[in-house]
Amino acid sequence: MDAFEIFGAEDAAAHLTALLGQVRPGEARLDSDGRPLLCPPVVTTRDRFDGMPMAGSTLVVFGAYGTPWSKPLERVLTGVRERHLIVWRHFPGPDAHPRAAMLALAAEAAAARSKFWTLTREMLRLRHDDPADLHAAMLRAGLDPERAIAAMQAGTGTERIVDDVASALASGVAYSPTLFVNGERYAGELEPDAVTAALENGKRGSARRADSRWNPPLTEGARA
């Protein structure tokens, strides 16, 4: 049986996929070399963030779940979480994974229960070829799968996912995962040491980047 039939959120996922196909990028922000910068900048009261809230460097991930790069990405995030701020913005699409929209909805359903990062870590460790994997990930994340599926059916988080994709396109993103360090496109290897080095270099360069807007106090809703 197909995963969409099992989870019953095929209509919501199809609707999200259709909306994503209509997204057009807004006006890009460019650096002095004409390369796209992160757009819009990080806003901690809106973005999904994890790690050190007042860190000197911020890693923004435009990501999707279930891709061949998910496990390497999870290792990167584990390596930098203790010293830097991580922000997740969705960039799902059929090219990333056939069920990318479904999995993004699952993450947003988890966010509604303040379990976004818990489920994200679980989903990044899996390929999700077997629909039972997502069910098991939900259980390990402390979610009630039936409630999570109901939230997915309702399209919880659809607007956020669409906004994230618009941000990705405005930032010149073409594939998942794409990383930004302190608002600038990261072009190195998807390896913990390489990404950590880029973040540490950014931290030494500036305690706070002008392209990130900080809005304390940090809210649990954004951290979820």
Mean residue pLDDT of the chain comes to: 86
Is the separation of the CB atoms in 101 and 92 below 8 Å?
yes
Residue 1, domain member (yes or no) = no
CATH number, domain at 84?
3.40.30.10
**Using CA atoms, how far apart are residues 134 and 156, in angstroms rounded to an integer?**
17
Strands 184-185 vs 212-213: parallel, antiparallel or unpaired: unpaired
Q: What is the pLDDT of residue 6?
A: 62
Is the separation of the CB atoms in 148 and 110 below 8 Å?
yes
Structural domain range at position 78: 7-21+37-214
**pTM assigned to the model:** 0.87
Which of 98-102, 137-141, 201-205, 220-224 bottoms out in mean pLDDT, i.e. has the lowest? 220-224
| Overall domain count for the chain | 1
Question: For residue 40, what pLDDT band results from cuts at 50, 70 and 90?
Answer: very high
**Mean pLDDT value of segment 2-26:** 81
Query: ω before 145 within 30° of 0 (cis)?
Result: no
Residue 190, domain member (yes or no) = yes
Cβ-count burial 161-172 (b if 16+ within 10 Å, e if not): bbebbbbbbbbb
Q: What is the pLDDT of residue 222?
A: 64
Please give the DSSP secondary-structure letter assigned to residue 90.
E
Residue 76, domain member (yes or no) = yes
Residue partners of 59: CB distance under 8 A and separation at least 6: 51, 77, 80, 84, 85, 86, 87, 179, 180, 181, 186, 195, 199
Residue 28, domain member (yes or no) = no
pLDDT digits (tens, 9 = 90+) for 130-161: 778 899 999 999 999 999 999 999 999 999 99
Check residues 214 and 9 and name the one with the higher pLDDT: 9
- Residue of 196, 47, 208, 203 lying closest to 117 (CA atoms): 47
pLDDT digits (tens, 9 = 90+) for 86-100: 999 999 977 888 889
**What one-letter code names the amino acid at 109?**
A
Residue 63, domain member (yes or no) = yes
Q: What is the pLDDT of residue 82?
A: 87
Residue 223, domain member (yes or no) = no
Residue 27, domain member (yes or no) = no
